[in-house]
Structure 1
Amino acid sequence: MELRHLRYFVAVAEELHFTRAAERLNMAQPPLSQQIRQLESELGVQLFQRTKRQVELTAAGKNFLKNVYKILIDLDKTCDSAQRAQKGEIGNIVVGFTGTATYDILPKLLQPYRSEFPFVDISVLQLSTTDQIQSLLNGEINIGILCAPIKNSQLNFEVIHQEPFIIAMPRNHPLASKSGPIEVQEFSKELFIMIPRNSGQIYYDTIINICHNAGFSPNITQEVHELHTSISLVAAGMGVALVPDSIQNLRVRGITYRQLKNSVSTLKTALAWRNDETSPLVHTFIALAKKSIKKLA
């Protein structure tokens, strides 16, 4: 039995007339009658009661039609699912991200993606840049949103966003009332709250370089693993922190933010994926991510 036999049967069952069914199928009537007889022979049942005046479904034919409808509907769904999978419209994808992407980049990427591809199951994992690299190579995540620059011959990288570092200080800090950008060296005697280097090497080294370029080494009094924790400690008067500009999207009382004067260091965020990645899901995510960041930047 072939799929065409089922479609021939449905046409005759719905028309209850071989000539009209043949016209509907764009074929001659004799071959259609022959195909239906072959189907009946293969099934071992009579599907139609034929007379010179009319064609009627037998009880077996009515039962068979009901189940054929289900088969054809399931087949259409299966074909549609395969086509959508090829287009990257359904399936599962796992995205890694650094804590620095939480307050700006991640919402800008995920919201339009979920809107355009509602049938894709997307999971997100917060991982350091180093851990994301390893997870990409191990196939544990499909895409990384991490700090750049990174070099790895097995991965593709594309910077999608850059933002300056700013200084976060308690609202009652002597410099909080100062308007405009502030020189970093004005904080050379301050206590600094930092993310440890093993949680984000690039992020950590960039902050150290900002301080060194200003002529001092930061006095690190507290190390925390989350940016929002560092901001909370700043608000509590435990010190100051150099943080990415997007952290201002996190509303915390008791904090004052100021731009840095003469600082050219920026936090670069990149997408990362394997060189041998063939999944349409990954490539549609990357394409939409580029468009979303460009549109919303």
Structure 2
Amino acid sequence: MDHKHLNYFLALAKTLHFARASELCHISAPTLSRNIKQLEDEVGAVLFNRDNRTVKLTQEGKAFCDYANATLASWHRFKADIQEPQQHIYGNVSIYCSVTASYSFLHQILEQLRMQHPYIEITLNTGDPALAINRVLDGHEAMAIAAKPVKLPGQIAFTSIGYSPLVLIGPKIACPISEQLKDLETINWSNLEFIVAEQGLSRQRLEQWWRKKNIHGRIYAHVAGHEAMVSMVSLGLGVAMVPKIVLDNSPLKEKVQVISEAEKDIPGFEIGLAVLKKERHDPALNAIWEIAQSLLTY
């Protein structure tokens, strides 16, 4: 089975959007569509249900994700094992990211780093993803996993490694908030209290959605970090707009409900590695950069 097809499949499985997946794979959307169809013919099953508006994984598609990830991981391990002897790369790279990014995107990158460059050391700091780009600009860390801002600073080099749509979530427990969510067709959003990010792209996206829907948002709390927003929603303190990848990896995901997929109205996050352009020559940093580009973690 062609590894290229597996990479294309994983890109579409993560983004569920042909245009975004094709952009991340550096091919046209029609070319991506043809490759996915060829893969489905080879597998003998429909992997995606798609219409003019949505793309969703079938049950067979969800199962195939495990196969594709395992196959590509084995391939990368094999390539690392048969590499010709080369000079080892030494160094320490400091990385900043959110807790969610540390065990989703970063996990796969570091797994390959351990095999290919065992002498590179990592210093990891986690925190609010809204601070990621500035942490690199200010010199606190050499590299960050960050959401790509609308306007990327000129000093920053950015390579995409994933995408996450946004979702609106509310509590499942019996509370005044969940009572108002019983009839999703008649929700008065202006009567709901929102848990909002203190700053950053998710806050901007929420305010953009408010303006588009003519919602006068009532703010219950400002929170640093999306993981804490999910926690507060699960307690019945309000509703929130969070990246879907945060919800998918949250231990509290069964205690909240998805009210709406905001992707229909507001774009989500392009996620990637951010470094200073002037530091791209650093061998240790560049090794991580190249591994990230070789892995379709989206």
TM norm structure 1: 0.60
**Unmatched segments (≥5 aa) in structure 1:** 1-80
Deviations 1:86-107 (A, max 9, x none): xxxx321111124563563333
Which letter maps to 2:244? Answer: D
After TM superposition, list the pairs within 5 Å mapping 1:50-129 onto structure 2. Answer: 83-85=87-89, 90-98=90-98, 101-102=101-102, 104-128=104-128
Structure 1 counterpart SS, 2:207: helix
In 2, the alpha carbon distance for the partners of 1:260 and 1:191 equals: 18
* 2:153 is the alignment partner of 1:152: yes
Distance 1:190 1:153, change over 3 A: same
Aligned to 2:289: 286
User: CA 1:239/1:128 → structure 2, altered by over 3 Å: closer, same or farther?
Assistant: closer
Letter in 2 for 1:162: Y
Q: Do 2:130 and 2:201's aligned partners in 1 also have CA atoms closer than 8 Å? A: no
Aligned pairs for 1:1-297 (under 5 A) are: 83-85=87-89, 90-98=90-98, 101-102=101-102, 104-128=104-128, 131-149=131-149, 150-172=151-173, 173-174=178-179, 187-197=189-199, 201-247=200-246, 248-252=248-252, 253-260=254-261, 262-277=264-279, 278-292=281-295, 294=296, 296-297=297-298
Tell me whether 165-174 or 252-261 shows the greater mean CA deviation.
252-261
Structure 1's 159 and 118: CA in aligned 2 closer, same or farther, altered over 3 A? same
Task: Provide the C-alpha distance between the structure 2 equivalents of 1:217 and 1:113, rounded to a whole number of angstroms.
Answer: 47
Q: Against the structure 1 CA distance between its residues 273 and 110, is the aligned structure 2 distance closer, same or farther, given a 3 Å change threshold?
A: same
Is the contact between residue 99 and residue 227 of structure 1 (CA under 8 Å) also seen in structure 2? no
Contact 2:169-2:260 within 8 A present in 1 as well: no
Partners of 2:109 and 2:220 in 1: how far apart? 35
In 2, the alpha carbon distance for the partners of 1:100 and 1:185 equals 30
Aligned identity (percent) is 20
Q: Which residue of 1 aligns with 2:54?
A: none
Deviation at 1:231, TM superposition (A): 1.4
Kindly provide the amino acid, as one letter, of the partner of residue 272 in structure 1. Answer: A
1:75 alignment partner in structure 2: none
How far apart are 1:185 and its partner, in Å?
6.5
SS at match of 1:239: coil
Report the CA distance between 1:279 and its aligned residue.
Answer: 0.9
Q: How many residues align?
A: 205
| Matched residue type, 2:94 | V
CA apart distance, 1:132: 3.9
3-state DSSP class of the match of 1:84? coil
Tell me which structure has the larger Cα radius of gyration. Answer: 1
Q: Aligned equivalents of 2:114 and 2:217: distance in 1?
A: 41
Per-residue deviation at 1:256? Answer: 1.6
CA contact (8 A) 1:144 1:272 kept: yes
Distance 1:134 1:101 in 2: 17
TM-score in terms of structure 2 length: 0.60
Aligned to 1:25: none
For the Cα contact (< 8 Å) 2:196–2:223, is it kept in 1? yes
5+ residue gaps, structure 2, are 1-84
**Inter-CA distance 133–164: structure 2 relative to 1 (3 Å threshold):** closer
Give the letter aligned to residue 195 of structure 2.
I
Partner of 1:210: helix, strand, or coil? helix
Please state how far the C-alpha of 1:160 moved relative to its aligned partner. Answer: 2.6
- The secondary structure found in structure 2 opposite 1:125 is strand
CA distance in 2, matches of 1:227, 1:123: 22
Q: Report the Cα distance in structure 1 between the residues aligned to 2:208 and 2:286, rounded to whole angstroms.
A: 35
Report Cα offsets for 1:212-242 as digits up to 9, x if no partner: 2122132111112132222121111111111
The change in CA–CA distance for 1:106 and 1:174 in structure 2 (over 3 A counts) is farther
Q: Which residue of 2 aligns with 1:8?
A: none
Deviates more, 1:101-110 or 1:275-284: 101-110
> CA distance change for structure 1 residues 286 and 140 in 2, over 3 Å: closer, same or farther?
same
1:20-74 per-position Cα deviation (integer Å, ceiling 9, x unaligned) = xxxxxxxxxxxxxxxxxxxxxxxxxxxxxxxxxxxxxxxxxxxxxxxxxxxxxxx
How much has 1:129 moved relative to structure 2? 5.7
Please give the root-mean-square deviation of Cα atoms over the aligned residues, in Å: 2.9
Q: Deviations over 1:108-146 (max 9, x none)?
A: 433333343333211111255674444434543221211
